[in-house]
Amino acid sequence: MTVLVTGGAGFIGSNFVLDWFARGGGPVVNLDKLTYAGNPANLEGLTGNAAHVFVHGDICDRDLVRRLLEQHAPRAIVHFAAESHVDRSILGPSEFVQTNVVGTFGLLEETRTWWEKRAPSERADFRFLHVSTDEVFGSLGPHDPPFSESTPVAPNSPYAASKAAADHLVRAYHHTYGLPTLTVNCSNNYGPYQFPEKLIPLMILNGLTRKPLPVYGDGGNVRDWLYVQDHCAAIRQVLARGRVGESYNVGGNNQKTNLEVVNAICALLDEARPNRKSPHSTLISFVKDRPGHDHRYAMDSTKISSQIGWKSAESFDSGLRKTVAWYLDNPDWVAHVTSGAYRHWIEKNYAMRGEA
């Protein structure tokens, strides 16, 4: 009853694998290339667990994928592996096309070839669950209704376009070949183990070290925040009960402007590391905007809640408090991920931004 997880050393993937075992889930083969975003330290809690097989490799390596399918005969694939950061996709889109489009295609094609040779009952029980994003739907105006599963796809960044391309391939593999696929399109996640190039961990760590808090544009862009373990629960539930060939939107029902999020982080840091003369919000610095910056995302989760019964457990206030506490409690993890290549990225991304 093995599950093949791709990208399980990244932020959401590692939370998923840890939660999976914490809930008594069966064996996992975890295929991860360990890019800058993949971190074996996220999985330290599984050391000595023989049911977790970590494979350091690339989803684009089709021979490897073929071997893993034949060797482990998984009952499902949960596909997280991707290049995931919008700003990196703007500065260098080719890796995004390679992993997110070509890699997903190779994974689908190897899976189809293997799956077609299985016995009918195994074919029927198999699932390919693709983890995608709300960004494929483009950007909402201030008064638009949230994205639903029938919202037309309109990606705006190279990252979003590469994820939309992957979503289309997944859909086509179900429609054409009958591969039992499922897709989850989720809003912005936050929580433990998130690489600090993304808004929330970046602001927590910059605040802790009293560096500027770089808010793009006027800070009015809106995201719909979901605690990562709520996303993992949605994935488990869709895997168990989702209708094959369908997609499910997942959101936190927590629409916040970036400035609201940064101010909430500052308030928590003021509690943890008080400095009455200079509260953390004095570090906020408005910088040059992201090109093509999507104004607003919001997800309508009606389908997953009415069809499958999923709902989020964590409020934004409680989830953010836990997240700030996690970064404060894990200085070794932080020191490891913020050394070396991370510093080059920060210099590259923010040097060109300056003050707005």
Dist. CA 79–CA 354, nearest whole Å: 37
The catalytic position among 32, 135, 167, 197 is: 135
In the block, which residue shows the tokens 């970036």? 258
Residue 56's SS3 state is: strand
* CA atoms of 2 and 75, how far apart (whole Å): 6
Nearer residue to ligand NAD within complex by CB, 202 or 283: 202
- Hey, is 267 helix, strand or coil? helix
- For ligand NAD, the closer CB: 12 or 203: 12
**How far is Cα of residue 68 from the mean position of the Cα atoms in its chain?**
24
Nearer to ligand DAU, 73 or 346 (CB): 346
Among residues 30, 35, 39, 84, the one that binds ligand DAU under rule CB under 6 A: 84
Binding of ligand DAU at residue 223 (CB under 6 A)?
A: yes
Strand, helix or coil at 111? helix
Exactly one of 17, 215, 233, 264 binds ligand DAU (CB under 6 A); that residue is 215
Kindly state whether residue 79 participates in binding ligand DAU, applying the rule CB under 6 A. Answer: no
**Cα 57 off chain centre by:** 19
For residue 152, what is the DSSP state? P
Contact assessment for residue 11 and residue 193, using Cβ atoms and an 8 Å cutoff? yes
Q: Is 134 a catalytic residue?
A: yes
Query: How many CB atoms within 10 Å of residue 172?
Result: 13
Nearer to ligand DAU by Cβ, of 69 and 249: the residue is 249
Q: Is 355 labeled as catalytic in the residue annotation?
A: no
Residue number with the smallest Cβ distance to ligand NAD? 10
Selected binder of ligand DAU within 15, 100, 133, 162 (CB under 6 A): 133
Tell me the CA end-to-end span of the chain in Å, nearest whole number.
53
Which of 104, 183, 221, 237 is in the footprint of ligand DAU by CB under 6 A? 221
Among 198, 231, 280, 296, contact with ligand DAU (rule: CB under 6 A): 198
Contact between 10 and ligand DAU by CB under 6 A: the answer reads no
Binding partner at 214 among ligand DAU, ligand NAD, none, C-beta below 5 to 8 Å by kind: ligand DAU
Q: Is 83 marked active-site?
A: no
Going along 164-305, which residue ranges are E strands?
A: 181-186, 189-190, 213-216, 222-224, 226-227, 247-250, 255-257, 284-287
Using the minimum distance from each CB to ligand NAD, give the nearer residue, 41 or 308: 41
Neighbours of 21 (CB within 10 A): 17
Give the E-state strand segments of 260-356 in sequence order: 284-287
Q: What is the binding site for ligand NAD (CB under 6 A)?
A: 6-7, 9-13, 31-35, 37-38, 58-60, 80-84, 99, 103, 131, 133, 163, 186, 188-189, 195
| One character per residue 176-195, x = contact with ligand DAU (rule: CB under 6 A) | -----------xx-------
Residues with a known catalytic role: 134-135, 159
